[in-house]
Amino acid sequence: MTLNGWDVIRHEVLRRIRVGEWPQGTMIPSEVDLAREFGCARATVNRALRELASAGVLERRRRAGTRVAALPVRKATLDIPVIRQEVEARGQTHGFRLLAMRTDPAPVPVASRLGLPPGTPLIWLDTLHLADGQPFVHETRWLNPAVLPWTLPDFGQISANEWLVMQVSYTRGDIAFSAAASTLRESEVLGVPQGTPLFITERTTWLFDAPITLVRLAHVPGYRVQTVM
Amino acid sequence: MTLNGWDVIRHEVLRRIRVGEWPQGTMIPSEVDLAREFGCARATVNRALRELASAGVLERRRRAGTRVAALPVRKATLDIPVIRQEVEARGQTHGFRLLAMRTDPAPVPVASRLGLPPGTPLIWLDTLHLADGQPFVHETRWLNPAVLPWTLPDFGQISANEWLVMQVSYTRGDIAFSAAASTLRESEVLGVPQGTPLFITERTTWLFDAPITLVRLAHVPGYRVQTVM
DNA sequence: GAGTGGTCTAGACCACCTC
DNA sequence: AGGTGGTCTAGACCACTCT
């Protein structure tokens, strides 16, 4: 392994960790030493070690050096696609129905999540996404009109999910996944018995300090979020 | 913004995308051009653009150049901590009880998930994790003894979750999240009514082509997986 | 104080792919 | 065929933090 490629170095470091040559918590040689060993520039070693650190395998601190993470907090990357893409990736046809849309004062829980005064007028959207004509996910969304372009599209023609992703940028957002019993409305819309366990995704997005939207996605039974490590 | 720092360039590119200067799907200037504009080396621009590409904001191809992602697949990074860490991060005390442990032939669904012949002897572990003495998560685990060190620890003293993370490395793994009604056993162990919606985490890990373990975590109601974008 | 990682530079070669 | 991003090099300066 004297020839180049930062990925070769990355794999070799991983191998040494795996076979126990560098046990968890150990300091590993400095970049300079490794560069000498591998016969490459320090920047190449740096690249390899930086990737491993961002994957949670190594912990690096200036002066303190690099150590193998003691209790490795594994990191997994999730792709958060637009719903239409998600459906089409399954080889199904995406459709949606805008069930309701109106402007309402923000209820307290919504307002507090968004950091707005209760009663702030928000647009409320209720959308059902379909995969091959069957219910796929029920989308309940609160939109803050104050941060949106003046002309909203026809949300019967383009789903809010997709329009926001394409037209509205955000600076910050968070996602939460949970499980919940279907509400009465979700049962009706998704066509499942009330109380059915549903996979729930909740997202909020922000443009600097201004909240843009809060959305709750109630997925049809059987839905899974999957990723590799 | 003529002074340095790849992060400055990253933010500036993001800003131009956000204000619509570089709309979605657009080609952006080449690294050489941007380096000239920002008065820095191409490697610095490369670093900034590479980060944005790995975040899903840009799409890069040799010769074709760099374009703003048309339908940005947002990426979120999840931390997968050891359960003990997760409990302690909440300021609670972790404990666990090994409820059962035996060697059993792999049932068909387990075997097929792990790519083993049905009936392969596996170690079956049933563990309840506690937070401040209250049920927190129910862990059902199948372990492949063929790939483990000869001497297994006392799983009444150290949880399999933690021992595996500390002692056994893997080359590949996957995680899936879903929602399911609690089984009879889960109801008893977690102390919830049968049929309660539970958040389920399923993980499999592999050492090259050899399956190591398959684990199902049934989390107590109210559990959320959360992350920022 | 000294050694570590973080970053940058200027230049170079290469693989790839669109033109 | 030529321009693009991907990567590497050799050297440098700096920020941090451990001793």
What mean pLDDT comes out for the span B75-88? 86
CA distance B202 to A177: 14
Cβ atoms of B171 and B207 closer than 8 Å: yes
Residue B181 has pLDDT above 90, yes or no: yes
**Chain A residue whose CA is closest to B200:** A179
CA distance A133 to A135: 7
Banded model confidence at residue B55, pLDDT cuts 50, 70, 90: confident
Banded model confidence at residue B4, pLDDT cuts 50, 70, 90: low
Kindly report the average pLDDT of chain A as a whole number: 88
Q: What's the pLDDT score for residue B72?
A: 67
Q: Which of residues 19-38 of B touch strand D (CB under 7 A)?
A: 30-32
Residue A4 has pLDDT above 70, yes or no: no
CA distance B123 to chain A (A): 23
Sign of the Cα torsion B161, B166, B172, B175 reads positive
Q: What's the pLDDT score for residue A2?
A: 41
> Which of B18-22, B68-72, B89-93, B183-187 bottoms out in mean pLDDT, i.e. has the lowest?
B68-72
Kindly report the average pLDDT of chain B as a whole number: 88
Q: Element (H or E) spanning A226, and its range?
A: strand A225-228
Strand D reaches within 7 A of the A66 CB: no
- Picking from A78, A85, A165, the nearest residue to B75 by CB comes out as A78
Q: Does the distance separating the beta carbons of A17 and B174 come in below 8 Å?
A: no
> Which of A125-129, B19-23, B56-60 bottoms out in mean pLDDT, i.e. has the lowest?
B19-23
- Interior/surface letters B170-180, b for 16+ CB within 10 angstroms, e for the rest: beebebebbbb
- Picking from A162, A171, A177, the nearest residue to B224 by CB comes out as A177
Give every CB contact of residue A47 below 8 A, 6+ residues apart in sequence: A6
Residue A174 has pLDDT above 80, yes or no: yes
What mean pLDDT comes out for the span A80-86? 87
Q: Element (H or E) spanning B173, and its range?
A: strand B172-181
CA distance A190 to B72: 27
CA distance A123 to A105: 9
Q: Which of residues 64-103 of B touch strand D (CB under 7 A)?
A: 64-66
Q: What's the pLDDT score for residue A72?
A: 67
CA distance B180 to A181: 10
Size of interface A-B (CB pairs under 8 A): 148
* Residue of A167, A153, A45 whose CA lies nearest to A98: A153
Q: Does the distance separating the beta carbons of B179 and A223 come in below 8 Å?
A: yes
Q: Is A5 left (phi over 0), alpha (psi -120 to 50) or beta?
A: left
Q: Does the distance separating the beta carbons of A78 and B226 come in below 8 Å?
A: no
Q: Does the distance separating the beta carbons of A78 and B77 come in below 8 Å?
A: yes
Order of strands, edge to edge, in the sheet holding A65-68?
A27-28, A65-68, A58-61
Model pTM score: 0.84
> Which of A116-130, A169-183, B44-58, B72-86 bottoms out in mean pLDDT, i.e. has the lowest?
B72-86
